[in-house]
Amino acid sequence: MAAEDKATLPRLVFTKAKEYGAAAVQRYQKFNIYQKLFVWGTFFLYLSLATAFLVIGPDRIGQTLYNFAQRISHFRLGWLILTAVFFVISFPPAVGHTTLITLCGYAYGMKGFPIAAGGSLFGSAFTFVILRLLFSRRLRRWSESNEKWQALETVVASKGLPLIILIRASPFPPWVYSNTLFASIQSVTLWQFFLATFVVFPKIAIFVFVGSRLADLSDGETRSHMDTTTKILNVSISVGGVIVAALASWIIYRLMRKEILHLHGVLPEIDELAAEAIEEAEEGAPLLGPHSEPRARYDGSSA
């Protein structure tokens, strides 16, 4: 029986990979020209970064990042600069939230956690308020013409804060588009959004800690005084922290989808539409995404 399980495991992995690949292709085919350009631009950006990492070398890149982080930490208003950057990257389509959190650990060690947590909390809350104020009319028009968004609003209003917390803790949609998503849902209040953001603090703490460990490994002088055991321990802790954060995020994402798709008192059709609306939020819908054609208003009441 054990041999059969081992034989079916690669087949299961292959099947799942094929399913996710097909779903990704179908989703890509639905993108407009600007969204496809964004995907290819992101691909070439990461390809360029990977190439630079291999050509320049991890030691030189790590030392450069360490020196930059140290300059920030020795600057009297360095913490304020990092906080201001958190406000900037909280607006879509900016990226780099996790990288900035790690930089806080690079620069200040675990003392960088209040900077990362405070910047994430108040930066996202500021984005929530500004987007809702600027796009209130567009939001109403979208809600009246898009059945998926009506379904999502029905589901969120039905479940309330627990579902809001699950969506906020989920890695999808990403941080910046999660800000847009909640600003787009009229039933989500600022205090609920504020409270749900506290849930991501443990994840922020993990990446700050990883940054503090990477800082020790990046500095040539500090690294030269480490024995082999200490180096292996630091690398293991850093990699382990990232794996734990990624695994927890995936579990939360699965729980979030399960909660949406099996919500009691809500029609299954509405659950499906709400799940699709969550995925579309990665393109910035409805505040920053392209409008769809008007559709008949969807009745969100259960039978």
Give residues with Cβ within 8 angstroms of 90, minimum separation 6.
Answer: 97, 120, 123, 124, 126, 127, 175, 176, 179
Identify whether 177 is part of a domain. yes
For residue 219, the model assigns a pLDDT of 72
For residue 205, the model assigns a pLDDT of 93
Q: How far apart are CA 16 and CA 10, in angstroms?
A: 10
Total tally of structural domains belonging to the chain: 1
The range of the structural domain enclosing residue 245 comes to 57-283
Q: How far apart are CA 266 and CA 59, in angstroms?
A: 54
Q: What are 232-276's pLDDT values in tens digits?
A: 777 777 677 677 777 776 777 677 767 666 655 556 666 566 666
Identify whether 113 is part of a domain. yes
Identify whether 151 is part of a domain. yes
Identify the DSSP state of 296. P
Identify whether 273 is part of a domain. yes
Q: What are 84-120's pLDDT values in tens digits?
A: 999 999 987 787 898 899 999 999 999 999 999 999 9
Identify whether 38 is part of a domain. no
Q: Which amino acid is at 93?
A: P
Q: State the number of CA atoms in the 13 A half-sphere of 179 facing the CB.
A: 26
Identify whether 22 is part of a domain. no
Identify whether 2 is part of a domain. no
User: Which stretch of 3-17, 88-102, 167-181 has the lowest confidence by average pLDDT?
Assistant: 3-17
For residue 193, the model assigns a pLDDT of 93
Mean pLDDT of the chain: 75
Identify whether 293 is part of a domain. no
